[in-house]
Amino acid sequence: MRRAEINRKTEETDVKVKIDLDAKSVDNNKIDTGVGFLDHMLTLLLKNAGIGAEVKAVGDTYVDFHHTTEDVGITLGQAVSKALGDKKGIVRYSSVVIPMDESLVMTALDISGRGALYSDVKFPTEKIGNFDTELVEEFFDAFSKNAGFTLHIRQMSGKNSHHLAECCYKSVGRAIREAIGIDKRFSESIPSTKGTL
């Protein structure tokens, strides 16, 4: 059962994440971070990843959305890492290209255990509503480091910031879905010549 629950509380945020990597349905995911745009993006990410989830965050949004966005990324990444366990049988690698109207984003992913983000996405505006577009990278940086994912995100086209952000979250979600999938042929093997990830 690839499930995990992580609670993370600091002076700035209180985040609770519960996930199921093999959920039969993701239509009833519950996402409430207090940041509307982040809720929208997480809904897209988890739906495309095929991950059942409950995400609840209370943060110092009266300051701005930075702490909440980053800490949700940290906590979700930790939950995914925990749910993957020893990573036996996973596909490990994936790459996808996802369109969202005029936007096109490529994501390449390696569940390497060495978390790092390599992003080349340039938003044409500084904000989407009241959400700072720089927080898209902050979220994925926190998530990838704590999940242990080597994550590359590349913008191939896009001139609408909202579409571009959606494209990023959908692309990463779909890449996660493929990489965490079980390779039936090697379901008892860890996909590394080192024998560990």
Residue 100 and residue 174: Cα distance in Å, rounded? 13
8, amino acid identity: R
CA 143-145-148 angle, 5° bins: 100
User: What would the pLDDT profile of 74-96 be if each residue is shown by its tens digit?
Assistant: 999 999 999 999 999 999 999 99
Q: How many beta carbons lie within 10 A of that of residue 152, not counting itself?
A: 18
All structural domains of the chain with their residue ranges:
3-186
Q: How many residues does the chain have?
A: 197
Helix residue spans in 85-184 (DSSP H) = 134-147, 161-180
175, amino acid identity: A
Q: Is the pLDDT of residue 195 over 90?
A: no
Quickly state the pLDDT bin for 186 (edges 50, 70, 90). Answer: very high
Check if the beta carbon of residue 115 is closer than 8 Å to that of residue 148. yes
User: What would the pLDDT profile of 93-151 be if each residue is shown by its tens digit?
Assistant: 999 999 999 999 999 999 999 999 999 999 999 999 999 999 999 999 999 999 999 99
Nearest Cα to Cα of residue 4 among 71, 76, 66: 76
Q: Which CATH superfamily is domain 3-186 in?
A: Imidazole glycerol phosphate dehydratase; domain 1 (3.30.230.40)
Residue 38 sits at φ, ψ, to 5 deg, of -65, -40
Instruction: Please state at what angle helix 66-84 crosses helix 134-147, rounded to 10 degrees.
Output: 30
Q: Is the pLDDT of residue 61 over 90?
A: yes
- pLDDT recorded at residue 134: 98
